[in-house]
Structure 1
C-alpha cells in the first residue's frame, strides 16, 4: 500500500508547530528557550500526522477485510484520504469502513491521555506532558468532528449506510449525506467569517477553511452520486471499444508508425501483444514522441510501452462504476478489457463520458427510454 504526502502537509506541520511554539507552550510553561518550544512543537506536529495516518490506515484495513482493494493513502493539509478501488457492497460494509476511523481517533485520544497522566506521575517536565495533553485533545476533537453525520466526514458515510439500509437506494442515500455535508460546510464558512468580523479573532479562518473544504468535497460527492445513478447497471462491455487494433511488442517504433493506420482508425493508444496475442502493455502517441526520430528504427515497442502491470484492466461483465476509480488513477487513462486473459476491448474515460451523455439524454427525453431500460436489464 502506497502512502503519499501532499505538499500541503508541510503547511499543517508549520501551522501546528507555530501554534504550539508561539502560543500554547509558552503560555502554559514559560521560561524555556525558543529552540525548546519549536523543537517540541515540530515533534508534536509530526506525531499528530502519525495519528492521522493511523486513522486512514484503519479505513484501509477494514476495507480490505470487506473485499475492497486499497490503492493507497494520501495525507494532506486537513487530514487524509484512503483511495479505495471500488465501493462497499452492502450497508454493513459501508458502516464498518466508515465507523472505524472515529473509533481509532478516540482510541488515540485515550492513549495520549494515559501517556500524559503517566508522564506526570513520573515527574517528566511539564512541557512534554502538555504536548501529550494537546495530542489527546486534538484526537478527541477529530473523533467527534469526523462523527458528524455529513459527507465526506466519516459520520456522513455512516449516515449514508443507514439511509442505504433503510431505503435500499444507494444513490439517494449518497445524495442525502452529501447535501448534509454541503449544509455543514456553508454553516462553518459563514460562522468562521462572522467570527472574524465580529470578534476580530483570526481563529475563525480555520472554521471558514474547513467549511470551504467540506463544500468542495461534498459537491464532488453529489456529482459522483449522480454519475453512479446514471451508470447503475452498466457493464464494461457496453462502453468498451471491442477488438481494438493492436501492435506487436517486437515491432520497432518505425514499423509501427509506417504500418498502423492511425489516420483511418484515429487511434492514439494501442494495446501491445506478444507473439501469441497475449496483452503485455499499452502504447501511446506520447510515448512514441519520447523516442528520437533517428532511434525509432532500432527501438522495439516493448522498450517504450507502458507495461501491463501499470495499466488498468477490467472484465467485460464488471460494473463501469467499479472500473472508474482505477481508470481515473491510471497514468494512461485507458483500461484493457480482458476475458480469461484474452484481450477483447479497450475503454477510455471518453467512452464513459459519451455513455453518460446518452443515458442522461435518454432519461430527460420522455419517449426515448429504451437505453435506460436496457441498462438496468444488463445489470
Structure 2
C-alpha cells in the first residue's frame, strides 16, 4: 500500500498515510455524529456531535498507528528491518524488510499487535469508567467508551487464526514450529484466510439480501481483502522459495548509465532517446561519485520547457533516502516486496555508497522464469 502523505518518523520508523484513510475517518465520523452519539445522548447541538465524532475518529487512527508501531518495534528487536508503516482504509501495514528468522520471532512480532489493541481498549475502558464516576459529559464518556469497544474488537478480530491477520501469522508460527516448513505453514494460514474471507463475503451479502441493510457491505469488503491478501502472501512465499539464496548481484544490471546531478535537464534531454540516455530511469551521482538519487523521464517531464535549461537533474531527482537500495549480497527474495511497493519499481545497488548496478521488477521476473523452468520436473 503506497503512502500519499508522509508523517515523518516515529520511534525511528517512517510513517505515512494513504489517501484512502480519509474514507475511514469520514465513515467513523458520520456514523458516530449521525447515529450513535445522538441516539445515546440527545439534546446536544449538532457541532458537539460532529466535534466528538471527529475527535474519536482521529484517536482511533492513532490507536491503529500504535498497533502497527508495536509490530515495527518488536520486529526490529528481533533483527527484522522495518521499511515503514502506511495507514489506509482498512487499517495499517507495517512493511518489513524481510521475514521473521524463526517461528519464535514470528510469534512475538505478530502477537504484540492484538496485545497492544487489547491494552488500549482496556485503558479506554478504565478512562470511560473514571469519567463517568466524576460526572463528565455523557458525550465524552460515550466517545471514550466507543474507543474502548472498537480497540477490543480490533484485538479480537486481528487474533483470528487466518492470514493476513495477526492471528494468521500466529497460526503460521505454530505450523512452522510443528512442521519445520515455512512454506507449508504459509499455505495453511493462507487457506484459513481464504475460508474466513469467503464466510464474510457470503454472510455480508446475505445480510444485504435478507434484511436490505447495506451494513453487510462492510464485512463483504473486508472478506474480499482477506482473500486477495492471503493469496498474495502465499504467492510471495512461493516466489521466495524459488528465489531462495539468490543474491541481488546475480540479477542486477551491472554498471548502469548514470547522470551527474549538475547536468541540466536540457543537456540531458538532448542526448536521448537515441544517444547515451536511452533508458527511462538513471542513477544520479553526486560530485564525489557517490549515489545521490534516481531520476526518471517522468520526473523530468514535470518541469516546464522554459525552465529546463537552468534546472539541474539534482533539483528534480528522487533523493537517495526515498529510493529503494540494496547491496550486491542482499537476497532477491527480501528485495522483491520492497520493489513491488516502491514508486519507481527500481532499486539502486550500492557498494560503499557507489552505484554498481540497478534492479527492476523485469530483471527479477526474467530470473524467476529461468529458475522456475530449471526447477520444473521433466515429463
TM-score, normalized by the shorter chain, greater than 0.5? yes
* 1:36 positional shift: 2.8
Determine the structure 1 residue equivalent to 2:121: 109
C-alpha separation in 2, matches of 1:292 and 1:27: 55
Task: Tell me: CA distance 1:12–1:303, structure 2 relative to 1, closer, same or farther (3 Å).
Answer: closer
Question: Is the contact made by 1:310 and 1:330 (CA closer than 8 Å) also made in structure 2?
Answer: no
Task: Tell me: CA distance 1:3–1:265, structure 2 relative to 1, closer, same or farther (3 Å).
Answer: closer
Question: Is the contact made by 2:268 and 2:277 (CA closer than 8 Å) also made in structure 1?
Answer: no
Is residue 2:296 matched to residue 1:270?
Answer: no
1:168 to 131, 156, 180: 180
Gaps of 5+ in 2: 1-8
Task: Tell me: CA distance 1:347–1:115, structure 2 relative to 1, closer, same or farther (3 Å).
Answer: same
Moved more, 111-120 or 334-343: 334-343
RMSD: 2.7
Moved more, 335-344 or 81-90: 335-344
The TM-score normalised by the length of structure 2 is 0.86
Question: Is the contact made by 2:158 and 2:166 (CA closer than 8 Å) also made in structure 1?
Answer: yes
Is residue 2:76 matched to residue 1:64?
Answer: yes
C-alpha separation in 2, matches of 1:158 and 1:337: 34
Is residue 2:248 matched to residue 1:236?
Answer: yes
Question: Is the contact made by 1:262 and 1:268 (CA closer than 8 Å) also made in structure 2?
Answer: no
Moved more, 305-314 or 110-119: 305-314
Moved more, 138-147 or 160-169: 160-169
Output one character per residue of 1:123-154: Cα deviation in whole Å (capped at 9) or x when no partner. 22333222222221111111111000101111
- Equivalent residue runs for 1:315-354 within 5 Å: 315-354=327-366
Gaps of 5+ in 1: 368-379
* 1:114 positional shift: 0.6
Q: Secondary structure of the residue that 1:32 maps to in structure 2?
A: coil
* 1:211 positional shift: 1.1
The TM-score normalised by the length of structure 1 is 0.86
Determine the structure 2 residue equivalent to 1:92: 104
1:53 to 65, 69, 82: 65
Is residue 2:59 matched to residue 1:75?
Answer: no
Task: Tell me: CA distance 1:228–1:35, structure 2 relative to 1, closer, same or farther (3 Å).
Answer: same
C-alpha separation in 2, matches of 1:13 and 1:298: 43
Determine the structure 1 residue equivalent to 2:376: 364
Question: Is the contact made by 2:271 and 2:277 (CA closer than 8 Å) also made in structure 1?
Answer: no
Task: Tell me: CA distance 1:169–1:21, structure 2 relative to 1, closer, same or farther (3 Å).
Answer: same
Instruction: Tell me how many residue pairs correspond in the alignment.
Output: 367
* 1:193 positional shift: 1.1
Moved more, 265-274 or 342-351: 265-274
Output one character per residue of 1:136-193: Cα deviation in whole Å (capped at 9) or x when no partner. 1111111111000101111011111222222222222222212211110000110111
Question: Is the contact made by 2:25 and 2:57 (CA closer than 8 Å) also made in structure 1?
Answer: yes
C-alpha separation in 2, matches of 1:92 and 1:271: 40
Moved more, 295-304 or 125-134: 295-304
* 1:20 positional shift: 2.5
Is residue 2:23 matched to residue 1:15?
Answer: no
Determine the structure 1 residue equivalent to 2:325: 313
| Structure number, greater radius of gyration | 1
Output one character per residue of 1:341-360: Cα deviation in whole Å (capped at 9) or x when no partner. 34322211110011112222
Q: Secondary structure of the residue that 1:75 maps to in structure 2?
A: strand
C-alpha separation in 2, matches of 1:294 and 1:44: 49
C-alpha separation in 2, matches of 1:272 and 1:76: 32
C-alpha separation in 1, matches of 2:262 and 2:37: 65
